[in-house]
Amino acid sequence: MDLGFFETVRDAFEGFVVGVPGQRNTYVHSRGLKAWFDDDTREHYEAQLIRVDGTLQLEVGFHAEHPKAALNDAVLERVRATEAEWRIALGDAAVAGDFIGRTGWRRVSEVWPANETPDIDEAIEVAARLADYVIALEPARRSPA
């Protein structure tokens, strides 16, 4: 997976979330795609390459990365308050809890095996799944604390 792959993911993703309210922002980097709405960069959606037990994996989902764990816990509580609804869209693959590899951050995401030679169909699949997270979680994320 390279920058070109994640640029393709971004292009497809933007089409999938065109109806989601708020100013959409995206950033492609060598290891992934980050997307957020309005100025909420600490609460964002991401498709990114990570290492889990030394193995390269692709994580797809939502992150709360505030500097204080209590803020991240509050975000996760808001999102979990509607888990019955978003679980229908995201299924059992979505894990809500601690961030992978960073204490204090939180996530609702899933991990896939990384394909070293992904094609356009995989890019569209990743984009669609990331859009699933946005559509399922964004209403709860935006709800008042």
Distance CA 138, CA 20 (A): 8
Read off the pLDDT of residues 2-50 as tens digits, 9 standing for 90 and up. Answer: 778 999 999 999 999 999 999 999 999 989 999 999 988 999 999 999 9
pTM of the model: 0.94
At the topology level of CATH, where does 3-142 sit? Yope Regulator; Chain: A, (3.30.1460)
How many angstroms from the chain centroid is the CA of residue 142? 15
3-state secondary structure 75-140: HHHHHHCCHHHHHHHHCCCCEEEECCCCCCCEEEEEEEECCCCCCHHHHHHHHHHHHHHHHHHHHH
* φ, ψ at 109 (rounded to 5°): -160, 175
Q: What are the residue boundaries of the structural domains of the chain, listed by start?
A: 3-142
Start-to-end CA distance of the chain, whole Å, equals 38
pLDDT, tens digit, 9 for 90 and up, residues 44-101 = 999 999 998 889 999 999 999 999 999 999 999 999 999 999 999 999 999 999 998 8
**Is residue 14 helix, strand or coil?**
helix
Asked if 75 contacts 43 with a C-beta cutoff of 8 angstroms, the reply is yes
